[in-house]
Amino acid sequence: MPDLLLEVKNLSMHYDTLDGNVDAVKDISFSVKSGESFGLVGESGCGKTSVAMTLLQLQPDNSVITEGSIKLDGKELIGLSENDLRKVRWDSISIVFQGAMNAWNPVIKIGEQIREAMREHYPENSKQENIEKIDELFKMVGLDGSISERFPHELSGGMKQRAVIALALSCDPKIIIADEPTTALDVVIQDQILNEIKKVQDLLGLSLIYISHDIAVIAEMTDKIAVMYAGSIVEMGPTKDIFENPVHSYTRALLDSTPSIRGEKRKLKSLDGEPPSLINKIDGCSFAPRCPDRETKCNPTEHMRLVEIAPDHFVDICSQGKQ
């Protein structure tokens, strides 16, 4: 059994704003083994990206971690000094941001920008060594080595995104967080990038945290998923179990609202209402106002809290019915 690489326990974080506290992450626990792909899925504003940022300790200044721990390889990340964090970031854990392809500096060649990160982390390497390493990484993500001599504007969106993945791999991390890495790309390019990420992951034995709102992509990319709603995880378990036997009403609603090109054409079901604003403290279950099973199963006074219903399959308590 592979050991736990990343362990997040009871993590809670809020943003301190002029209008009040925004509870972006509420009591979240999950773990990722080495070589495993873990998916975080949910609608915009459900706290997916906040979790990613907190994992890297890159959250904005107005955020407050109220409790919890993040252990990477047994080492606690919360409370580490900026200097120690710099060693962890990229060396052990790196991230491909949403729209990262637009984050390249337009006046510096791609290769130079990647070398910059490598110089920081491996000061002992010679320039030649770094250049060879970059060539190798580019090959891995399906890019030509000559790309490193190009400027960002000379590349297409898909190529820039591949280069971002190469950059994320440049310091041999053990785990990569991919935050909606394909949202700005069209279907064919998305398909190629997903393929590339999977190939690299298998080749290097990396762990992956894949964040997306797209159920179909999550189904293909991950071994294990957590469904997030309003800052909490409402259901978590092996991807196959969750797709075969979704228990929580929100998970079922997400699956029911995803169109597919395979199988019988079916009527899709929409979910009424909108996600709650996280600025107001929510008493009881935050999904209750939209819950389709409100009348029969729901227990709106119960706070969201996970219980294990099958090995490794955790579901929010509310789906256990009225108590």
Partner 1 sequence: MSNNLIEVRNLVKHFEVSKSVFSRNKKIVKAVDGISFDIKAGETLGLVGQSGCGKTTTARSLCLLDPKTSGSVNFYNPDTQNMESIDNIDEDGMRIFRRNMQMIFQDPYESLNPRWTIKDIIKEPLDIHNIGSFNEREEAVMEILRTVGLTPPENYLNRYPHEISGGQRQRVSIARTLVMKPKFVICDEPTSMLDVSIRISIMDLMLNLAKELDVSYLYITHDLAVARYMCNRIAVMFNGKIVEIAETEELLQNPIHPYTKRLISSIPIPDPKYVRERYEINFDELDKIVKDNPNEQMVDVGNNHFVATHETKEYLIES
Binding site for partner 1 (CB under 8 A): 43-44, 186-191, 194-195, 213-217, 219-220, 222, 239-240, 243, 253-255, 257-262, 265, 268-272, 274-275
Q: Which is nearer to partner 1, 7 or 214 (CB)?
A: 214
What is the nearest approach in angstroms of partner 1 to the Cβ of residue 186?
4
Q: Which is nearer to partner 1, 28 or 194 (CB)?
A: 194
**How far apart (Å, rounded) are the C-alpha atoms in residues 107 and 168?**
20
Q: Which is nearer to partner 1, 100 or 219 (CB)?
A: 219
What is the nearest approach in angstroms of partner 1 to the Cβ of residue 269?
7
Q: Which is nearer to partner 1, 114 or 143 (CB)?
A: 143
- The single residue listed with the structure tokens 């259901």 is 235
CB-based contact 319:248 (threshold 8 Å): yes
Q: Which is nearer to partner 1, 123 or 263 (CB)?
A: 263
Alpha helix locations (H) across the chain? 48-55, 82-88, 110-121, 127-140, 157-169, 187-204, 215-221, 239-244, 249-256
What is the nearest approach in angstroms of partner 1 to the Cβ of residue 309?
19
What is the nearest approach in angstroms of partner 1 to the Cβ of residue 194?
7
What is the nearest approach in angstroms of partner 1 to the Cβ of residue 255?
7
Strands, sheet with 93-96, edge to edge from the N-terminal-most edge strand: 93-96, 175-179, 207-212, 37-41, 224-229, 232-238, 313-316, 306-310
CB-based contact 110:148 (threshold 8 Å): yes
